[in-house]
Amino acid sequence: MMEQFIEIKTANPDSLLFYRMGDFYELFFDDALVASRALGITLTKRGKHLGEDIPMCGVPVHAADDYLQKLIALGHRVAVCEQIENPAEARKRGSKSVVRRDVVRLVTPGTITEEKLLAPSQANHLMALGRVRGEEALGLAWIDISTGSFLVAATAPDRLLADILRIDPRELIVAEPVFHDTEFRPAFDVLGRIVTPMPPSLFDSASAAERAARYFGLATLDGVGAFSRAELAAIGGAIAYIERTQKAERPPLMRPMRQDAANILFIDAATRGHLELLRTLSGKREGSLFNAIDRTLTGGGGRLLAERLMSPLTDPAEIGRRLDSVSFLRAERHLADAARAALKGVADMPRALARLALNRGGPRDLGALAAGMAAAAELAQVFAGSAPPEELAGALAAISALPAAFRDHLGSALADELPLLKRDGAFVRRGYDGELDEMRALRDEARRVIAAMEASLIEETGIRSLKIRHNNVLGYYIEVTANHQAAMNGNDQAKARFIHRQTMANAMRFTTTELAELETKIANAADRALAIELEVFDRLVAEAVEASEALRSGAQALAVIDVSAALALLAEEEDYCRPEVDKSLDFMVEGGRHPVVEQALRTQGGEPFVANDCDLSPEDGSHLGAIWLLTGPNMGGKSTFLRQNALIAILAQMGSHVPARAARIGIVDRLFSRVGASDDLAHGRSTFMVEMVETAAILNQAGERALVILDEIGRGTATFDGLSIAWAAVEYLHERNRCRAIFATHFHEMTALADKLERLSNVTMRVKEWEGDVVFLHEVGRGAADRSYGVQVARLAGLPDAVVARAREVLSQLEESEVSGRAGRLVDDLPLFSVAVSRAPARPAIEDPLRTAFADIDPDDLTPRQALEAIYRLKGLTAKNG
């Protein structure tokens, strides 16, 4: 057996080998050491290899999914090795022959299909990167094996990381030379362990078209689309990896479809992190924009909402079609409510279909298809007689194309209560198959006969404790306690009737001719009934796979309706407005709010969110958008204001209503955000260096249609260095990038730029001072702040009073300085901190009579009598003072 294990492990060196032995998957050698630590399971040993104990650990087959989930989350790959013959077949080759085993599947983060391992509202993409020597453009192909989606896009080296993060794959495969190419190392370092190098042969562009055509059963790929060589390399790599990991199974993938990146809002990697679209900076969904807007009811709807959020459009016509759907369902509230009622509880059709096609599905996956098609039929009735807009009308047409015959077949074939596994049986409805009903009747009738036989034997023998039991070794048997042995075989007649089978410590087991005959009938009936059910299951799965294209289209239509109804509900609940989206350079938001912060304030029972206007639209006579220079105190709400306008642009272009009273958004083709402070010490970057790298990326890429959000540029270095960098950056945005922008700063000297740059305006976060305290109004208004109120904020944060007082004193002196040289004499002008801090008055000494009495005693001068008198005197003082 260990020879077999080592042979299979040698063929899969980069995976943990789950080696099937009976009801367990066992791991040996280094695999056992790794798995025991990762899973927290007991490490044992079994046998020896080269004179040393073989480490071993195992997990039960029925609980394997839970352990796989942990291993995959930790970045491990798992090779699942199953028995591919039964023991009886192995014995034909010899009594000591080992049952044949082989790897039936490689489980990797991008190829999982198990329901337990997948988050319902998150896609699970495997992505391949294609590169052809001599070509500048790169190819990306990404597959969600759990739903069958297959998309392709071209990208460039300077936007590679942004495009990968937009798709958010669980696994990225690249050719080994590309993996080690220094040009791409920065991107791969950011992506971390999701990147897996593979042999270059998988990405051969010359054979990729033939490989893809063969996979889809086509003579040529020309009818699917015209792909570049880099895109073909990515397609070929993705398909080769699927074939390598799924072994003999073939997932039912859609044919590859190109996605035009030019029609998608470009959001760079840093901006996605700063804006916390899908996850917060700590990696949690709670607190993200997606979590705030998600009102979907189905897994497919959640995934479509996330896809739209991560890939907003730049085509006003397509955005308008999405907005029409939301507005229609918001206006027709009864239709939206009825649609959501039909969608509630609908299972995940695409993922159920994928599991069935890969022979990993069960009766409940068939039930998921039946429930989805039933919901589709109900939705068709809901919208009958209405006049939905274009997008919803297309979705309803796809729903109508679902195979009604297959839906009816599932309804008549499947029972109301379905088991998880097909081997458990009892999932075919009574009345569907006559032979099955007959076998079930015989099986169930036999159970009643067994009970009657047991009662008859008790009456015949007079043994009240007699039982007829069953196990997998003996089958049915009669069991009595040992003290009734005489009644069962005490004479020849009893011995002839009751045939001895087994003697236990406290019991004896027998059988009879009648019981053996009945057992044969029962066994045959039960086995035949299960065989019939499995045949029915296979027929239904074949029908599902045949109808897979229509089923996937119908599931996508359900997701579209779910997203539209969810966004309509969000807009109604949160009082959002429909934005105007056009090809102008306008950016006008009236009464805008931050969708995440607003909901958080409501949940915490705090003050209501203060709405603010933002207008970066071209002014009269100008054909370019405006720049706002935003000043104001810390804690005044600058970062919130910056982010909310970026989020409003994303929501508008993904096709959602937005948190504002009114909004007019001229298409933004690139969105850049530089908000917050962070370092990258692992790659030798300080906070200021990270800030400069991200700022450089913005200044090098932003164009007239871009929206740029910058916060506190230059704060990580010396004051005048930072001021000069920020000053130059604003001038560059105005003169060279010529984009719409909001630039927040504490360098109040920069407000003078408003007189120099015609498209730049000063705005500020309003505050009020009251009795030495600062009150944040969180309102944005025209004008400039003259101070940042940092000392007041420090006091609110709880700094010691002495530190706050000293800070006020130093600040006062600095503000009186007119030239930088004055600050150099600050040490002479102000007393040292240790002197300046007012000390708390010393506490007055409390007179202690006992201490005074002790101090007056000189032990060396005392006679014995004086010493005794002193003791009595001290004792009296002690009693007097307690």
Q: Which residues are annotated as a binding site?
A: 632-639
Cα within 13 Å of Cα(223), Cβ side:
6
Residue 759, burial from CB neighbour count under 10 angstroms (0-12, 13-18, 19+): buried
- The 3 state secondary structure assigned to 160-171 is HHHHHHHHCCCE
Helix (H) or strand (E) holding 25: strand 24-28
Q: What DSSP string describes 259-292?
A: --GGGB-EE-HHHHHHHTSSS-TTS-STTSHHHH
Alpha-carbon distance of 512 to 521, in angstroms, equals 15
What sign does the CA torsion over 718, 720, 726, 729 have? negative
Look up residue 843 and give its two tokens: 């506490």
Whole-Å CA distances, 362 to 299, 357, 403:
19, 11, 21
Residue type at 764? T
Question: Would you state the structure tokens that stand for residue 22, as one six-digit string?
Answer: 């009976």
Rounded to whole angstroms, the Cα distance separating 152 from 227 reads 9
Cβ 691 vs Cβ 270: under 8 Å: no
Return the ∠ at Cα 299 (arms to 296 and 305), rounded to 5°.
50
Measured between alpha carbons, how far is 554 from 543 in angstroms, rounded to an integer?
16
Cα dihedral across residues 298, 301, 307, 309: positive or negative: negative
Give φ, ψ of 706 to 5 degrees: -80, 155
Beta-carbon contacts of residue 367 (< 8 Å; ≥ 6 apart): 347, 414, 418
The neighbouring-strand residues paired with 18 are: 80
Check residue 831 and report its DSSP letter: -
Distance of CA 84 to the CA centre of its chain: 35
Q: For helices 333-343 and 548-574, give the axis angle rounded to 10 degrees.
A: 130
CB 173 within 8 A of CB 127: yes
By the 8 A CB rule, do 498 and 457 touch?
no
Provide DSSP, 474-541.
TEEEEEEEGGGHHHHHSSHHHHHHSEEEEE-SSEEEEE-HHHHHHHHHHHHHHHHHHHHHHHHHHHHH
Determine how β-strand 467-471 pairs with β-strand 475-481: antiparallel
Q: Which amino acid is at 463?
A: I
CB 640 within 8 A of CB 630: no
Instruction: Say if residues 749 and 629 touch (Cβ distance below 8 Å).
Output: no
Binding residues for ATP: 632-639
CA atoms within 13 A on the CB side of 115: 17
CA distance 648 to 593: 8
DSSP 339-362: HHHHHTT---HHHHHHHHHTT---
Give the Cα-Cα-Cα angle 501, 503, 507 (nearest 5 degrees): 110
Q: Which of 37, 42, 27 is nearest to 81 (CA)?
A: 27
Asked if 663 contacts 611 with a C-beta cutoff of 8 angstroms, the reply is no
Nearest to 202 by CA among 252, 141, 145: 141
CA distances from 245 to 63, 80, 111, 179 (A): 22, 10, 8, 20
